[in-house]
Structure 1
Amino acid sequence: MMKVVSHVQREQGDWILHTVMVEGQDVPFKFKRKDNYQNLKGARVNMTYYPDQESVAGMAFEIMKVVRIKRA
């Protein structure tokens, strides 16, 4: 179980991109949904995720791709 420090939602085409920062980690956890999600700031969540890389302006950044997220 992890505690969410920050949760940001923004539109990306037809999808809503969610970025979650977790206490004790400096890598963003990202997932997409068709609709907005409840605000998770301060909540404890259970997540299934795997490491991935995202390229921004030619630089590679480590991210965690969330497969499943559930509020605890």
Structure 2
Amino acid sequence: MNKQAKHVKQMLERHQSLNHLDGISVTSHVQRQDGDWFLNTLMLQGYTVAFKYRRKKMYQSLKGQKVNITYYRATDMVAGLEFEYMKVTRLKRY
């Protein structure tokens, strides 16, 4: 087991609600400005829920790339409706 895989395993053991995906393809990557931050939204192959994260700068497009992603399940209230999304805590190219 390499160093990176060992680190991910330790994180998952420490945080029970944390999830991880390896080598998943990005089908859509949208970046939009939200104040001083850029809100990034990913759609992944085989998933119908959005994966969201923030960056201070624009990030290169990940569309078509394979990534390793660590995330928490979260919900957002919009106009009285609850929407599920995944809050990304760690993102690495595969």
Instruction: Establish whether TM, by shorter chain, passes 0.5.
Output: yes
Q: What TM-score results when the alignment is normalised by the length of structure 1?
A: 0.97
- What RMSD, in angstroms, separates the aligned Cα atoms of the two structures? 0.5
Return 5+ residue gaps in structure 2 as ranges: 1-22
Q: What TM-score results when the alignment is normalised by the length of structure 2?
A: 0.75
Higher-strand-fraction structure: 1
Please tell me whether Structure 1 or Structure 2 has the larger radius of gyration of its CA atoms.
2
**% same residue:** 54
Return 5+ residue gaps in structure 1 as ranges: none
With CA pairs under 8 Å and 6+ residues apart, which has the higher RCO, 1 or 2? 1
- Runs of 4 or more, structure 1, over 4 Å off, are none
Q: Name the aligned partner's letter for residue 71 of structure 2.
A: Y
Aligned length: 72
Residue 62 of structure 2 is aligned to residue 40 of structure 1: yes
